[in-house]
Structure 1
């Protein structure tokens, strides 16, 4: 299995050329792989998969724009950090708040967290669906990757979806949940999967909730508010060490 995951990672090297890592839990039959594009804390301290308190292991793709704010809150609660990465903040936030932590994250992200104690795998995708995350689940287990091309190394998931060209011609793209491979699905945006490795069962849940009850009747106020939000969004996106 480790060799297969290595091949899956190598197929996605173009998206993470700076570093690579493999982590294995042989007893659980689990292998996590990662290809890194360094954005925050460019040192080797940001190597992934990253382990937190000898319990949680993460493979994370993306960037959390408000990680410094969350980090300060966690530090006030007694957490201490060894790196300057947003990856470590995700792990500490999950330890502190569980799945409620996902709604606190602002940014583009897709990640997997393995809980060695509970034998549970979590797959999480950002509310806007900026970062992709695909998975395949059957009675034997679950496989996942950032790109569908990685699944060609998994025999059970390598059958092409013969209908995908029809969708491409009709829409000019592949609308979710359509993919080029049979039974490989995208994790819906704003959702997470909690996979119980002991029972081989998955639970799909949403963590992103929106309220549209607030109304702005004044056009000038609406225009000013939109401009302020756009400026803040651009500023938030400029957080990087690379």
Structure 2
């Protein structure tokens, strides 16, 4: 076993990607700065200073803790993590996390069925040292390999380094809720949750002109491209291996649609049950939860499903001033949000965007990283 240096200090005190947004009080604080957990790593080079810089460039994604682990050997490698603690916020959930002094994981996401998966593993004789989903995810990989991805219900991007076989495994959730970028420059393969963590590794980043054409066509840059020629995205529903033979990417999931003939009453019942089950399944957290509430059908249905658990739901509504609404082609929905809140007795929070919102544009663009033509990014931020 090669020697290893742990740079992990003590830990301090993101579904349906478009529709559902639940968050804790600490999560909302992190979103003020941009985010979720952040992961990164390198293979072929393992500079503690470089990994520190990559990790800390994503501090806005994880204010609750940081960790960097460096692996000596051939090839050298390293993993970094910025943590936003949602499940088991104790030091037991700190990352990078190891099992058997061989497999190491850095993970961004949330598994909604991790308790069921943990119970199955325990029935098979596995034992755990924490209450977090990270440990369950790593143990699933150790025991089942890539086929474990079929069992996961959640949102995730993660990397596992096998320090015995000297190879890296990467995976991204089915719909790509969690980002995962990678590059291969001068014999160093690197990955991260954000582009900015990889840019310092590239001497002269250059524009991918075909990605620019895609952006002008679709208003965003589809995978696997990014705005930079040297950086790519791991597509949703895919995993990858990186070792001495290079990078191999494989698809493990795709959407299959088979039309069914049912009555309107059947569809109404099935959709209601599916929405309720999906929302309540995603309310797995060791910290308080809340939801955006626009007053539209989607967010109102989500809040109604959350309210069925018996807990009072905190809701957050973003509105526009009367003067700004004069320039909008859609009507003001805030009064609908207020009515839904009154009906469901939520803990209602309302914010009206002010003219100084323009001051947020540089920061919003900084967090978007890639060009995305979606004005909702401002109100969401």
User: Common fold, TM-score beyond 0.5?
Assistant: yes
Asked whether 1:140 is paired with 2:187, we answer yes
Match of residue 202 from structure 1: 247
Are 2:207 and 1:161 equivalent residues in the alignment?
Answer: yes
Aligned ranges 1:46-61 → 2 under 5 Å: 46-61=93-108
Partners of 2:121 and 2:259 lie apart in 1 by 31
Structure 2: distance between partners of 1:169 and 1:4: 35
Contact 1:17/1:36 (<8 A) preserved: yes
> Which is bigger in relative contact order (C-alpha 8 A, separation at least 6)?
1
1:117 aligns with 2:176: no
Q: Considering only CA atoms, is the larger Rg found in Structure 1 or Structure 2?
A: 2
Q: Distance in 2 between matches of 1:82 and 1:52?
A: 11
Superposed CA offset, 1:151-177 (max 9, x none) = 121035x51315355544443322323
Out of 245, 251, 274, the residue aligned to residue 229 of structure 1 is: 274
Question: What CA distance in whole angstroms lies between the structure 1 residues aligned with 2:208 and 2:165?
Answer: 39
Deviation at 1:213, TM superposition (A): 3.9
d(CA) in 2 for partners of 1:136 and 1:89? 28
Residue equivalent to 2:112: 65
- Structure 1: any 5+ residue segments left out of the alignment? none
2:86 maps to which of 36, 39, 42: 39
- Tell me how far apart the structure 1 counterparts of residues 168 and 260 of structure 2 sit (CA, whole Å): 40
The answer to whether the 8 Å contact 2:55/2:80 transfers is yes
Distance in 1, matches of 2:100 and 2:272, equals 42
Q: Are the counterparts in 1 of residues 185 and 202 from structure 2 also a CA contact under 8 Å?
A: no
Query: Which residue of structure 1 lines up, in the alignment, with residue 197 of structure 2?
Result: 150
With normalisation by structure 2, the TM-score equals 0.60
Deviation at residue 214 of structure 1 after TM alignment? 6.5
Equivalent in the alignment of 2:131: 84
**Residue 76 of structure 2 corresponds to which residue in structure 1?**
29
> Quick check: 141-150 or 158-167, which moved more?
158-167
Instruction: Say if 1:140 and 1:200, in contact at 8 Å, map to a contact too.
Output: no
Q: Per the alignment, in what secondary structure is the counterpart of residue 159 of structure 1? A: coil
Partners of 1:171 and 1:60 lie apart in 2 by 30
1:178 Cα offset (Å): 2.9
Among candidates 263, 271, 274, match of residue 218 of structure 1 = 263
Scaled by the length of structure 1, what TM-score is found?
A: 0.92
